[in-house]
Amino acid sequence: MEHTSLGRTGLKVSRLCLGTMNFGPHTSEAESYTIMDRALELGINFFDTANVYGWKIGEGITENIIGRWLSKGGQRREQVVLATKVYGRMGESPNERRLSAYHIRRACEESLRRLQTDHIDLYQMHHIDRETPWEEIWQAMEVLVQQGKVLYVGSSNFAAWNIAQAQSEAKQRNFMGLISEQSLYNLNARMIELEVIPACAAYGLGLIPYSPLAGGLLGGSLMKQVQGRRASERTIEMIEKHRDQLEEFENICKEVGEKPADIALAWLLHNSVVTAPIIGPRTLEQLNLSIRCLEITMSPELLQKLNEIWPGPGGQAPEAYAW
């Protein structure tokens, strides 16, 4: 497993990040343990979660599963770069959501308790909070860093302007600010190439793409249809919408002798701003199959064909839409 720096930091993380959103709702606790154990065996040391995962308000189901796994010992916590998130609704009170200093402090304490650890390696703001000033957010984060409860701060679902504003405010406070951004990014969702990716490059943020397979669309969805595998109504709609592109994409994958999911992940890894795509396996088999992408070299010819099938916005702004 190759490891790389997370953004401009000296922290080394694996080129694949283990996403845990399925732990609880779709993957049993026992199998979640097996997946996390196997991830460490494969050299994956970067685990991502969020306090809202499990999708029962205030329960933090996924964080609790990870915490019980960490409590089993065996140097588990020492081997993992642990990332979680704050912002989502965690109770009925109006102050149990978003990014007020009140909620950041409380949410951090609750995540630490559920995760059964004394610190969070990467504490990510799950969404921009347009109602809370940056001086309040950064003051709250600074306190957590000073207390040793948080090591690094990241963002998720931020626009480029949000990143620029956050970093400007952090610099004025002599605070490191953001070191990563977690965004929706895959062959079929390339909007962040306009401004978010250039902002990450300019400010030294590592990009952590989520939904790298577009909810399964890029994982050989046409072949799975032929094989009679069940798909959600939304997935079926997406397949029909992109059928022509998918046919071209899967045919090219056959030509190069690789699975569509591996090509989709390898395409992300080819981008120098990308630190680690988030893979969210529901099963151990899915985890084991994800590793192949690390061995694929993207030729200029293959990259060109993929860009023709899945055209992005035309590069970065403003050249993508102006001169």
Catalytic residue numbers read 53
Q: Half-sphere exposure of residue 282, counting CA atoms within 13 Å on the CB side?
A: 4
Nearest to 220 by CA among 258, 267, 192, 172: 258
Q: Half-sphere exposure of residue 229, counting CA atoms within 13 Å on the CB side?
A: 11
C-alpha–C-alpha distance, residues 157 and 91, integer Å: 22
C-alpha–C-alpha distance, residues 146 and 42, integer Å: 33
Nearest to 104 by CA among 56, 138, 66, 64: 138
Both structure tokens of 47: 């685990």
Query: Which residues sit opposite 14 in a β-bridge?
Result: 3
Cα of 160 vs its chain's centroid, Å: 17
As to burial, measured by CB atoms within 10 angstroms (0-12 exposed, 13-18 middle, 19+ buried), residue 48 is buried
C-alpha–C-alpha distance, residues 77 and 36, integer Å: 11
Q: Buried (b) or exposed (e) across 52-85, using 16+ Cβ within 10 A?
A: bbbeeeebbbbbbbbbebbeeeeebbeebbbbbb
C-alpha–C-alpha distance, residues 16 and 73, integer Å: 23
C-alpha–C-alpha distance, residues 52 and 253, integer Å: 36
